[in-house]
Amino acid sequence: MTTWLPTLKTATPQEGYELALTLARKAVGLTQPDPAVRDKLRPVYAEDADALIASSQVVATHFATVAAANDFWKDSR
C-alpha cells in the first residue's frame, strides 16, 4: 500500500474537516475497491436516512481524530 497520508496536521479546522471526509471516502474505496459495485450501491444508500446518518457519524469520528491531532480544542487562554 502506498503512503497517501503523511500527517493529520492541517492549517485550519475546515481543512481538518475536509481531511475527515477524505479519510471516510478512502475507507470506502479500500473496503470496496470495485468502482462499479460502489456505483451500483450508491442509489441504495443515497435515499436511506439511516445510512446517511451513519456516514455522517463516520466523518464526525474522523474529524474528532484530526481535531485532537491538531489541538483544535485546546484552550488558548
Using CA atoms, how far apart are residues 25 and 37, in angstroms rounded to an integer?
15
pLDDT of residue 26: 96
Global pTM value: 0.86
Cα-based distances in Å from 59 to 1, 40, 65: 23, 22, 10
Q: What is the pLDDT of residues 26-74, one digit of tens each?
A: 999 999 999 999 999 999 999 999 999 999 999 999 999 999 999 987 7
